[in-house]
Structure 1
Amino acid sequence: MKRTLPLLIFVLLIAIAAKAQYRHQEVGLQTDNDSYLAQGSDRYYTNGIFIYYRRALPFDEDGKIANRVLGFEAGQKMFNPQSGSINVNGVADPGYIDRPFAGYLYLGANYNVLYKKQSNFKVGLQLGVVGPRAYGRQAQNLIHKVFGFYPPDGWQYQIKNALVINASGEYNKMLARGGNWVDVSFTSYANLGTGFIGGGLGPMLRLGRFNKLFNSVITQSTVIDRPGVKANDQEFFFYYKPLVNLQVKDITVEGKGAVYPESMQVAGKLNKVMISNQLGGAFNSGDRWTVDASVIFHTKDVKEMVRSHQWGSVTVMYHFD
C-alpha cells in the first residue's frame, strides 16, 4: 500500500497535467500604436485595439483537415494626418492634413480551416462604421488625457459616417523547412467590400522553435478540439514577413467628407502598390498563454503623405477549456 499510494498520486498528477494542456478556447487582446517604437510620432495609423475570442471546432481526424477554428472579434482603428494636432500658431490649419482624421469601429467573425499538409484558408466578415460614430475622436482624446500627451486638434475635419461591410480571405502554405529551426511559407490575403478592396502576398520566414502551421501562433491556431491530446507544444520563434500590397479602395482615406488642402487636385489619391515589412517574435507556453509582438514598417498609403509610417503591435491570448 505504501508503494501503491505514491504511484497512484503520480499517475493522477500526470493525468491532471495532460488534461491541463488540452485547450479548445481562447480570449485575448491586441494593441497597436506608433508610440511603441519610441520615435515620438503620432501619425497615420496611430492606434488600434482589438478583442478576440476563438473556439476550436471538431474535425475528422482521418481526413485532410488538421484543425478548425472559429473566431470573433471587435476592434477600433484610428488614423491621423502627419500629426494628431493640425494647430499652427494657435489656428487649426487644414493644409496640414495629408491623410484624413478617421476612425474605424467594427465587429467581425472568421473561420479558419487548417490542413495536415501545412496550409490554411481563413475567411472572415466585418460589419463596421467609419466617421464620428466610430468614436475615434473620443478614444484619442481619452488616451492623450490619461498619458499626459498634447490635446488632439483636427477631428472636426474627420470623414463622415459610413457603413462598412467587408469580406476577407487569407491563405498560407508551407514551402520549405530546414531541420527543426527554420522554415519558409507563402502568405497572402485579400479584402473585398464597401470599405476596403485590395490584397497582398509574400514569403514568411520563421526561425526558432515552432509548431506546424495547423497548430501555431503564426496562423492563430493554438487551440484545437481533439480530446485527450494537448493543444500544442511550446513555441519561441522570430519571424519576418515582407509583403507586396495592392490597394484599390480604402474608405478611411477616400471617405465622404475627407478634408485635404485645396492645392491637392485629387483628395486622398491612393498609392496602388505598397511595401510592408513585419518583424516579430512569438511565444507559446504550450498551455495557457501566447504572446506575439512585432513592428511593422509601411510605405505611404497616400501619395500626399509626407512620410511613410510604422507602428508596434502586441497580442496576448489566454487559453482555457
Structure 2
Amino acid sequence: MKINYQLLVLLLLLSAVVHAQDTTTFRYEITGTTDNDDYTIRYTDRYYSNGLFLKFYAALKDINEKNPKSIKKIFSIELGQMMFNPHSHDKNFLTDLDRPFAGVLFIKPSFTGITAKENVWQLGVQAGIMGPSAFGKQVQTWWHGAFHILSIYGWDTQLKNEAFINLTASYNYHLLQKQKENPWFDAYAFAAASLGNNLTNTSIGLRLKTGAFEKAFQSVAWGSRIQRTKQNHAWRKNHEVYIYFEPQLTYQAYNAALQGGLFKQDSAKGFFYTGIRPIVYQHSWGLLFAQNHWTIQFGYTFRTREAKHQVAIEDFGTIRFGYRFR
C-alpha cells in the first residue's frame, strides 16, 4: 500500500494544533438561531411564526477586574429574517385576518460593554427592509415544503416594501453584586428602547437565572466567553449550564409589521394593516449550555396580544447553536 507521507505529516500537524489549542480562550464566536412556533408542537403558524438569525461576535477589549472603571467591549453583527402571519392562513384566511402578513430582513451591528461590577450596556443600529423584498413568503414556503407542514395562504396580501433604520439601546443592572464567589442564582433589572420607522418601543424587565454560570464579562449570557488576549481570568467552572427566566413589559409606540410602513400613505401600506395594543407582556425561559467551543440554547417565549384585534396570544420556541474560535 502506497502511503502519502505529505498528507500524513499534514494530518499530524493539524492534530497537534487542535490538541495544543487552549480551549478556554477564544476571540470570536458565531451563532445561529431559529425561532419558530412549530417548536411548541402545535403547528399553528400564527403571529411571529419564524425567525432566522446569524450573528458574529469579536472581542475588542478585555477587562481588568482590579480596575473598577475597566470595561470589556465586544462588537457583534447580526443578519436576521422574521416572518409574521395572521391567526388564520387557510383558503378562508380573509374571514379571520387579525394581523397582516409581513416579512422583515435586517442587518444589525452592535457594541456591548461590561463593567467590573457586571453591569452591561448595549448599543446597536438595525437597518433593513420590510415587505416582499424581505423574502418572507419564499422562505416560509420552502420551510413548510421541506418539513411537510401545512400550506400557508395569503402571502400575496403582505405589507408593502419599506426600508427602515432603528437605533437600539439597553442597560442591564446587576442586582446581586455582593454575592458569594460561586452563586447559584443571579438577577438583573433592565431597560431597553428602540427608535425608528420599524419599531419604536421601550421595555423594562428582569433577567433571572439559576445553575452554574460565570461572571458577566465571561458568560454566554452576553456573548462574552471570548477575549482579545490569551490572558485568562479565573473561571468558576469549565462550563456553564443554567435555567433562565426573563419577564418584561413593553410599551409600543409604533410597530411597522402591524401598522405598515411609517412613511407610507394608508392606501399604499398594503391589503390589510391594523392598530397596536400599547402594553405587551412577555416572558422567556429556557436552558443554556456553554463549554469550550460550543454554545447550545433551548428556549420558549410567551407573549400577549400585540395587535389591536388579535384573536389569541402567541408563543414560540428558540434553538441556538454557537461556536467559538480564535
TM-score interval w.r.t. the shorter chain?
0.7 to 0.9
Partner of residue 218, structure 2: 215
- The alpha carbon displacement at 1:290 in A equals 1.1
Deviation by residue 1:44-103 (Cα, 9 ceiling, x = unmatched): 0000000011100124636423421100110100000013x2412xxxx52321010000
SS in 1 for 2:61: coil
Q: For residue 223 of structure 1, what is the amino acid of its counterpart?
A: I
Higher alpha-carbon deviation: 53-62 or 304-313: 53-62
Moved more, 57-66 or 210-219: 57-66
2:287 to 281, 290, 293: 281
- Say whether 1:71 aligns with 2:76: yes
Comparing 35-44 with 232-241, greater Cα deviation is found at: 232-241
Correspondent of 1:41 among 37, 41, 44: 44
Q: Is the 8 A contact 2:191 2:202 kept in 1?
A: yes
The aligned counterpart of 2:11 is none
Alignment of 1:19-168 (within 5 A): 19-59=22-62, 61=64, 63=67, 64-83=69-88, 85-88=89-92, 93-168=93-168
Amino acid at match of 1:284: A
Three-state SS of the structure 2 residue aligned to 1:19 is: coil
- In structure 1, distance between residues paired with 2:234 and 2:223: 12
Q: Deviations over 1:106-161 (max 9, x none)?
A: 11100001101010111001110000000001111111111112221101110000
Deviations 1:22-50 (A, max 9, x none): 10101110000001011221100000000
Q: Which residue of 2 aligns with 1:226?
A: 229
Match of 1:309 among 292, 307, 314: 314
Provide the secondary structure at the position in 1 that maps to 2:141. Answer: helix
Aligned residues: 296
Q: Distance in 1 between matches of 2:304 and 2:270?
A: 21
| Equivalent in the alignment of 2:278 | 272
Displacement of 1:189: 1.5
Distance (Å, rounded) in 2 between the aligned partners of 1:147 and 1:251: 30
Partner of 2:6: none
Counterpart position of 2:271: 259
CA distance in 2, matches of 1:301, 1:47: 16
CA deviation vs aligned residue, 1:228-285 (integer Å, no higher than 9, x gap): 326964111101111011111111111142434xxxxxx4111111110111111111
- CA 1:231–1:54 in structure 2 vs 1: closer, same or farther (change >3 Å)? farther
**8 Å contact kept, 1:21–1:230:** no
- C-alpha contact (below 8 Å) 1:206/1:240 kept by paired residues: yes
Residue 220 of structure 1: how far off its partner (Å): 2.1
Output the amino acid matched with 1:159. Answer: L
Question: What is the DSSP-based 3-state SS (H/G/I as helix, E as strand, rest coil) of the residue aligned with 2:156?
Answer: helix
Alignment of 1:163-202 (within 5 A): 163-176=163-176, 177=179, 180-202=183-205
For residues 42 and 18 of structure 1, what CA distance do their matches in structure 2 show? 44
Tell me how large the CA RMSD over aligned residues is.
Answer: 2.0
> Residue 47 of structure 2 contacts residue 314 of structure 2 at CA under 8 Å; is this kept in 1?
yes
Q: Contact 1:112–1:122 at 8 Å: present in 2 too? A: yes
Quick one: distance in 2 between partners of 1:189 and 1:80?
Answer: 26
Consecutive unaligned residues of structure 2, counting only runs of 5 or more, are: 1-15, 262-268
- Whether contact under 8 Å (1:23, 1:230) holds in the other structure is no
- 8 A Cα contact 1:224 1:231, kept in partner: no
Change (3 A) 1:199 1:29: same
Using the alignment, how far apart are the partners of 2:239 and 2:26 within structure 1?
Answer: 13
Shift of 1:223: 1.1
Q: Which amino acid aligns with 1:246?
A: Y
Paired position in structure 2 for 1:5: none
Most deviating of 223-232 and 248-257: 223-232
Percent identity between the aligned chains? 29
d(CA) in 2 for partners of 1:65 and 1:279?
Answer: 31
Q: 1:185 to 1:60 in 2, by over 3 A?
A: closer
Distance of 1:194 and 1:231 partners within structure 2:
44
Equivalent residue for 1:290? 295
Contact 1:18/1:230 (<8 A) preserved:
no
Match of 1:6 in 2: none
- Specify the SS of the correspondent of 1:20: coil
